[in-house]
Structure 1
Amino acid sequence: MSPTVLPARREQGLKGGHVLAGFLAFFGIIFAVNGSMIYNAVTTNAGLVANEPYRKGLHYNERIAADERQAQLHWSDGVSLVRSGALEITFAAGDGAPVSGLIVKAVVGRPATNREDKPVTLTETTPGTYVGDAGALEAGAWLLSFEAFQGQAAEPSYRARRRLWLKP
């Protein structure tokens, strides 16, 4: 009788092909996630902190002087913004008297981007109370920047920024 030859048994375990596939899958996932993050970062953030930062830097001392003049006015403001877009800003002098006759301009936008910025011109409805419409606003964080001019002045007498939260 001749001996029976059994087929060679393949070893079970980790082979070079398995290691290569795992290596490629791991780094493929890393590259896909990084690519997604880079795409989102580049397309959602303009990266611009200020328009013409160099020129604004040249006028920094003038800005400090304007802030000091504003502080000497002793004015205060009150802000109301609702989701319908109704914006109301009140101005009062240091003695509590309403400040009338101002030209008030505002911009309502998101804090992190300028894509949703909405300029608003406010009109005086009662002494010291200025009202405007920013259009319907979604819930979340909003940034209100406003300037008040006396008469036809080129520079604002009062400027402020307020971070607001609209509830859902």
Structure 2
Amino acid sequence: MASRNTGRSGRGEFTGRHMLAVFVAGFGIVIAVNLFMAYRAVGGFHGVVVENSYVASQNFNTWLERAEKSRALGWDVRPERRRADGRVVLDTAGLPAGATITAELRRPLGAHEFTSLTFAPDSEGRWLSNEAVAEGRWTMRIAIAAAGQEWAGESELP
């Protein structure tokens, strides 16, 4: 007669409690990662892009017209990497004599930081900022005024 093994074998059984622990641990990891990612996303957002989206929508066509006028001027501005002293170099083309260049910089993510720059001519077609800029990513809004005309553009500062 064969004997029945009514006791536990060397290997444990996978019970409902084990399955519950697997589900709780799995969903706990997913929830923890989602909460962490939400925390990081909210921490990197600086607030409103526009104060009133309805008013901004009413100005949208005006902004498009300004952008088209800027393109029609034929002025070209390309920011270069900051020099060792932290100042920014702009390569320009087509600017008339007597132009003035300013820029507003902001961090696109992370630290809520703004700074302003003014530029002086360095050589033919090259302009150098009077102020130094801290390392890291910046978004530049460049404004040029010359001969009664205005140009505006936005660029990433590499």
With normalisation by structure 1, the TM-score equals 0.66
Counterpart residue identity of residue 32, structure 1 = A
Amino acid paired to 1:119: S
Find the counterpart in structure 2 of residue 3 from structure 1: none
Once the 2 structures are TM-superposed, how far is the Cα of residue 128 of structure 1 from its aligned partner?
5.5
User: Deviation of residue 115 (structure 1)?
Assistant: 2.5
Structure-to-structure mapping, 1:1-168, within 5 angstroms: 9-10=7-8, 12-46=12-46, 48-82=48-82, 84=84, 85-93=86-94, 99-112=96-109, 115-125=112-122, 129-132=126-129, 133-138=131-136, 142-150=138-146, 157-165=150-158
Q: What is the SS of the residue equivalent to 2:17? A: helix
Cross-structure match for 2:3: none
C-alpha contact 2:88 2:133 (8 A) present in aligned 1: no
How many pairs are equivalent?
149
CA contact (8 A) 1:83 1:136 kept: no
Higher relative contact order (CA 8 A, sep 6+): 2
Q: CA deviation at 1:157?
A: 0.5
Cα distance in structure 2, aligned partners of 1:16 and 1:115: 50
Percent identical residues: 26
- AA in 2 matched with 1:137: E
CA RMSD of aligned residues (A): 3.2
Measure, in 2, the Cα distance between the counterparts of 1:123 and 1:62: 30
The CA distance in 1 between the partners of 2:114 and 2:13, in whole Å, is 61
Which amino acid in structure 2 is aligned with residue 148 of structure 1? I
Deviation at 1:43, TM superposition (A): 1.6
| Structure 1 residues 79 and 99: alpha-carbon distance in aligned structure 2, compared to 1, 3 A threshold | farther
- Cα distance in 1 for partners of 2:111, 2:61 equals 26
Moved more, 16-25 or 41-50: 41-50
Structure 2 runs not aligned, ≥5 long: 1-5
Length-normalised TM-score, structure 2: 0.69
Shift of the 50–134 alpha-carbon distance from structure 1 to 2, 3 Å rule, reads: farther
Per mean C-alpha deviation after superposition, the further-off stretch among 77-86 and 108-117 is 108-117
| Distance in 1 separating the partners of 2:125 and 2:133 | 22
**Which one-letter code corresponds to 1:44 in the other structure?**
G
